């Protein structure tokens, strides 16, 4: 049976060494993964790095990193975490989830920002990635917004929702999605206005089910809603080069 490396106050070593005192010869099996490991894996994937490439950049053992990314009970010491964060172009604070409870965008503006409009094609390209957006509804007490997991397919925004929510969604609605890069102080946003309605045709429901919409909120969210856009606008903040002196 594989014996997991114990937590240690020592670093997990440099490339090609073992400092935990236990040599492990079997490949670890996948199991529940901890939050830190998930964030490391996600950031590594965003940068297009393999586990071996990250280990080489951080100067830690490749086998240990592979074990860490699959394990729910392994940890990185302070020194190793700092090197992994540096190799991933982020901070230990971010990898440990320190920014989860604060809204994005608290940093300073870039040195030469410019606000530009997105074309309809660019808006659709951003929507096509799916993810989490906000549906904005009109109510008797004023507009309200709810985050939903969505996909963009067939030129429409599609999401799943509960029975309690579906009664509030009808007619013209708005839908917004955005993304920012705090390190570069730039980002984009897309705003859709369209007619919302339930998808009730069995064949259509079957086709949408294959898109794999998984609401993070959980629960019985069996109603499929489609927003057919009649207006789509977007904006992007970019950083320009500093103006040349005359």
The Cα–Cα gap between 61 and 54 comes to 10
Mean of per-residue pLDDT scores for the chain: 78
pLDDT digits (tens, 9 = 90+) for 204-241: 888 888 888 888 777 778 889 999 999 999 999 887 77
CATH tag for 113-239 (out of 3.40.640.10, 2.30.110.10, 1.10.3720.10, 3.40.50.300) = 2.30.110.10
Check residue 31 and give its pLDDT.
34
Burial 220-244 (b: 16+ CB within 10 A, else e): ebebbbbbebeebebebbeeeeeee
Please give the class, per CATH, of domain 1-102.
mainly alpha
Q: How many Cα neighbours within 13 Å face the side chain of 31?
A: 10
* DSSP 3-state of 29: coil
Q: Taking the model in full, what pTM does it have?
A: 0.59
pLDDT digits (tens, 9 = 90+) for 141-176: 888 999 999 999 999 999 988 887 888 887 899 999
Average pLDDT over residues 102-112: 63
Residue boundaries of the structural domains of the chain: 1-102, 113-239
The Cα–Cα gap between 43 and 46 comes to 5
Question: In 3D, which of 162, 187, 165, 164 has the Cα closest to residue 176?
Answer: 187
What's the longest Cα–Cα distance across the chain?
A: 72
The Cα–Cα gap between 102 and 167 comes to 31
Check residue 245 and give its pLDDT.
54
**Residue 138 predicted with pLDDT over 60:** yes
């Amino acid at each position: 049976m594989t014996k997991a490396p114990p937590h240690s106050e020592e670093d997990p070593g440099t490339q090609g060494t073992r400092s935990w005192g236990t040599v492990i010869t079997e490949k670890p099996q996948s199991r529940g993964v901890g939050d830190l490991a998930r964030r490391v894996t996600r950031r590594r994937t965003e940068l297009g790095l393999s586990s071996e490439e990250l280990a080489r950049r951080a100067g830690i053992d490749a086998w240990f990193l592979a074990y860490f990314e699959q394990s729910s009970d392994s940890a990185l010491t302070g020194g190793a975490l700092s090197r992994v964060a540096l190799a991933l172009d982020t901070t230990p604070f971010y990898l440990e989830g320190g920014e989860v409870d604060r809204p994005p965008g608290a940093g300073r503006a870039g040195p030469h920002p410019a606000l530009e409009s997105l074309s309809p094609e660019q808006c659709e390209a951003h929507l096509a990635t799916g993810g989490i957006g906000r549906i904005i509804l009109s109510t008797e007490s004023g507009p309200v917004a709810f985050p939903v997991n969505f996909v963009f397919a067939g030129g429409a925004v599609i999401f799943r929702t509960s029975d309690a929510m579906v009664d509030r969604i009808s007619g013209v609605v708005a839908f917004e999605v955005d993304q920012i890069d705090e390190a570069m102080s730039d980002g984009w946003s897309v705003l859709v206005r369209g007619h919302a309605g339930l998808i009730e045709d069995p064949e259509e429901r079957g086709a949408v089910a294959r898109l794999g919409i998984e609401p993070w909120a959980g629960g019985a969210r069996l109603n499929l809603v489609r927003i057919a856009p009649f207006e789509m606008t977007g904006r992007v903040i970019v950083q320009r080069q500093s103006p040349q002196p005359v």
